[in-house]
Amino acid sequence: MIVMKFGGTSVGDGAAMVRVCEIVGSRRGRKPVVVVSAMAGVTDRLLDAARLAGEGDLRSALGVVHELRGRHETAIAEAVPDAKLRAQAEEVVATHFAGLDLMLEALALLRETGPKAEDAVVSHGELWSAEILARALEARGQPGVWVDARKVIITDNTFGRALPERAVVAERAQAHYTAAVGKGKIPVTQGYVGATARGTPTTLGRGGSDFTAALLGAALRVDEVEIWTDVDGLMTADPRVVPAARPLPEASYDEAAELAFFGAKVLHPATILPLVELGVPVWIKNSQRPEANGTRIVAQSPRSEGTVKSIASKRGVTIVNLRAPRMLGAHGFLKAMFDIFERHGTAVDVVTTSEVSVSVSLENGPTEPGLLTDLGTLGDVTVTPDRAIVCVVGEGLRETPGIPARIFRAIASVPVEMISQGASKINLTFVVQDGHAVEAVRRLHEEFFPR
Ligand code: ADP
Ligand code: ASP
Ligand code: MG
């Protein structure tokens, strides 16, 4: 068995869905389970609709949904040629749209906003794309069947970034997908979406379809997980930042995980972890160019010639600095500080310390009320927004002399505010002003991947 995940642009319109059918057809003998994202842009629009409804602007919310309905109807017309199956797809999708209208009316009446309401609304995107793709496959003689991920990806109730209950997911996945595959079917299921044990819809965080693919891959102990997207693989940098970026033939789990964590959007940061124990290889492939090699991600990947494999950046982060002269020579201080982050459910990315102060970077800033006040009991707190993390990754980086010198020479004109190396053997990470992030990544790419 294999898992094949198709991202938003890979199912972005009817023609893209037809391409997906061909790719899935080429893997028929490998017993694929297909995971799909919502059509490109749909998740954003559904979030708009949820917010508008919650603010009481039902008219605008329904307007958004109307526009989405048109897009899905067009996709059905393009991707499902068979009249009977097309009528079926239209009917199913119409029913889901009617349900969504009712939901938005209820949210508007109750002025209900927040992650729980958003998850219920936003989960429609993957429902539509999965239902359509299953019929598009069927119309091409491939036995696609929609399987509801909400019956399998059982999560806690942290709406908006829910955590799956791995043991339950494993059990349910066997029951739902293995059973369908055993009957010769090709299950098509929603990425990103799950449900609590009570059946309330949840989502795994933006970009979470990759994570669904990994969870199912681990649960079903598949031979491979394929992530089909809009670029030729994991690349030497984000090609939107560095047009000359090149695809990597291979990367290690550790390299891929670090890159994803520090901003390489091509993989959701949680994707690699479920697959590591089982050693399931991950492929990243381009659905618009299936003939391109793609990147293979495996446990051990040899060092590349120049050591550095790729450069990632995560923008819009905030630095929180805590200065506490009392820390000098005292023990237990870091524990007290990290206990506060823990209590407020705030994850920190980069950490640096000096004798009397500690700096940490936070992805979304100090959003939790009370966090800064609590930190203030330990010392003086300063908050610096609009920063970016830049991360240089490669197996063997720590053991290779000269790499840090090359990094900082390449970006000599950019002020560097925090540096971290050594926590992981394979990366060097630093913080700059957000406005300097693009320049830093480009200069580093020039240095390590000259044309
Ligand atoms: P999908 O909808 O298929 O999940 P995403 O938009 O989430 O696709 O991720 C693919 C995008 O990730 C690419 O278009 C690219 O701009 C971006 N990206 C960022 N860093 C990298 C990288 N190192 N390698 C490849 N793509 C990257
Ligand atoms: N559709 C979701 C998003 O846009 C999940 C995904 O694409 O992976 O975040
Ligand atoms: Mg994605």
State yes or no: pLDDT of 421 exceeds 90.
Answer: no
Are 200 and 344 found together in one domain? no
| H-only helix segments in 123-208 | 124-139, 166-173, 179-182
Q: From 11, 206, 231, give the residue whose CB has the most ligand 1 atoms within 8 Å, as the site to mutate.
A: 231
- Does the residue 6 lie in any domain? yes
How many whole angstroms from 192 Cα to the centroid of ligand 2?
6
Q: Tell me whether residue 209 is in a domain.
A: yes
Identify the H or E element spanning 16.
helix 14-26
**In whole angstroms, what is the distance from residue 42 CA to residue 63 CA?**
14
10 CA: nearest ligand 1 atom: 3
Same domain flag for 100 and 210: yes
Clarify whether residues 210 and 319 are in a common domain. no
CA of 60 to the centre of ligand 1 (A): 31
Ligand 2 probe mutation, 36, 39, 43, most atoms within 8 A of CB: 43
Average pLDDT over residues 250-263: 96
Q: What residues are neighbours of ligand 3 (ion), with CB under 5 Å?
A: 7, 207
Ligand 2 touching residue 206 (CB < 6 A)? yes
CB distance 38 to ligand 2 below 6 Å: yes
* Distances in whole angstroms, Cα of residue 357 to Cα of each of 377, 379, 446: 14, 9, 35
Tell me if 361 CB under 6 Å of ligand 2: no
Interhelix angle 437-448/403-410, rounded to 10 degrees, is 130
pLDDT tens per residue across span 51-70? 999 999 999 999 999 999 99
Burial 170-193 (b: 16+ CB within 10 A, else e): bebbeebbbebbeeebbbbbbbbb
- Contact between 361 and 319 (Cβ < 8 Å): yes
Looking at every residue in the chain, the average pLDDT score rounds to: 96
Please tell me the predicted confidence (pLDDT) of residue 328.
67
Query: How far is residue 426's CA from residue 392's CA, in Å, rounded to a whole number?
Result: 8
Q: Is the CB of 123 under 6 A from ligand 2?
A: no
Model confidence pLDDT, tens digit, residues 146-184: 999 999 999 999 999 999 999 999 999 999 999 999 999
Residue nearest to atom 4 of ligand 1 (CA): 7
Q: What is the mean pLDDT of residues 386-413?
A: 95
**196 and 95 both lie in a single domain:** yes
Q: Which of 178, 213, 229 is the last residue of a domain?
A: 229
* CB-CB contact of 180 with 187 (8 Å): yes
- Residue 364 pLDDT: 84
Q: Which pLDDT tens digit goes with each residue over 174-196?
A: 999 999 999 999 999 999 999 99
For the CA of 9, the closest atom of ligand 1 is: 2
* pTM for this model (two decimals): 0.96
pLDDT of res. 418: 92
Is 97 domain-assigned? yes
Q: What is the average pLDDT across 421-441?
A: 94
User: What's the pLDDT score for residue 356?
Assistant: 85
Classify residue 268: in a domain, yes or no: no
CB 60 within 8 A of CB 50: no
Give me ligand 1 centre to Cα 242, in Å.
Answer: 12
**Is 385 within a domain?**
yes
**80-93: average pLDDT:** 96
Ligand index nearest the alpha carbon of residue 205: 2
Tell me, yes or no, whether 40 lies in a domain: yes
- Please tell me the residue having the least CA distance from ligand 1 atom 12: 266
Q: Is 7 in the pocket of ligand 2 (CB under 6 A)?
A: yes
Domain end, chosen from 203, 229, 255, is at 229
Is pLDDT at 326 greater than 80 in this prediction?
no
Q: Which of 171, 204, 229 is the last residue of a domain?
A: 229
CA distance 209 to 98: 25
As a whole number, mean pLDDT of residues 414-442 equals 94
> In terms of domains, do 221 and 358 share one?
no
118 and 19 co-located in one domain:
yes
CA of 267 relative to ligand 3 center, distance in Å: 6
Residues 214 and 331 in one domain: no
Distance CA 400, CA 403 (A): 6
| pLDDT-based confidence at residue 48 (cuts at 50, 70, 90) | very high
Distance 288 CA to ligand 1 centre (A): 14
pLDDT given at position 19? 98
In a domain, 191, yes or no: yes
Check: CB of residue 264 under 8 Å from CB of residue 238: yes
Tell whether 220 and 315 lie within a shared domain. Answer: no
CATH number of the domain enclosing 35: 3.40.1160.10
The total of structural domains in the chain comes to: 2
**CA 297, 302, 305 angle in degrees (round to 5)?**
115
* Pocket lined around ligand 1, Cβ cut-off 6 Å: 7-10, 37, 207, 229-231, 234-235, 237-240, 259, 264-266, 310
CATH number at residue 406: 3.30.2130.10
Which two three-digit tokens encode residue 450? 């000259």
Q: Span 221-238, mean pLDDT?
A: 98
Same domain, 217 and 324: no
Cα–Cα distances in angstroms (integers) from residue 226 to residues 5, 39, 231, 233, 290, in the given order: 6, 18, 13, 11, 11
> Considering the chain, what percentage of its residues have pLDDT values greater than 90?
92
- For residue 59, tell me if it sits in a domain: yes
Q: Please choose from 44, 123, 124, 209 the residue to mutate so as to test ligand 2's pocket, defined by most ligand atoms within 8 A of CB.
A: 209
379: CA distance to ligand 1 center in Å?
A: 40
Element at 349 (helix H, strand E): strand 348-353
> Is pLDDT at 330 greater than 80 in this prediction?
no
Query: Residue 355: what pLDDT?
Result: 81
The range of the structural domain enclosing residue 101 comes to: 2-229
Phi (first) and psi of residue 266, to 5 degrees? -60, -20
Confidence category of residue 423, pLDDT binned at 50, 70, 90: confident
257-273 per-position pLDDT tens digit: 999 999 999 999 999 99
Residue 329: pLDDT over 80: no
